[in-house]
Amino acid sequence: MRDRSHLVNRLRRIEGQVRGLSGMIEDGRYCIDVLTQLRAARAALNRVETIMLKEHLNHCIESAIVSGDAGQQRKKATELIELLTRSER
């Protein structure tokens, strides 16, 4: 990934959202308002994750395929499968 600044900017906005959530909870804001903002922050993180996943597929995995190195191909595929099968805790 050449230009990561757009992802860094997205993450900084998410960081601000999370700080805002802390303030909402401290202030005793209405639960639905807090939950709405939680969902927005989660959606924003999901968008960053999707961008990173596409970048990984388009660069790391593609490079392994183009290299013709079967070991690298298996390694990259295994990494991705392990990532996608990890349960959230």
Q: What is the residue range of 20's domain?
A: 5-85
CATH of the domain at 40: 1.20.58.1000
Q: In angstroms, rounded to a whole number, what is the distance separating the alpha carbons of residues 55 and 38?
A: 26
The full length of the chain comes to 89
pLDDT score for 3: 75
Neighbours of 76 (CB within 10 A): 20
The number of domains in the chain is 1
Per-residue tens of pLDDT for the chain, all 89 residues: 567 899 999 999 999 999 999 999 999 999 999 999 999 999 999 999 999 999 999 999 999 999 999 999 999 999 999 998 997 65
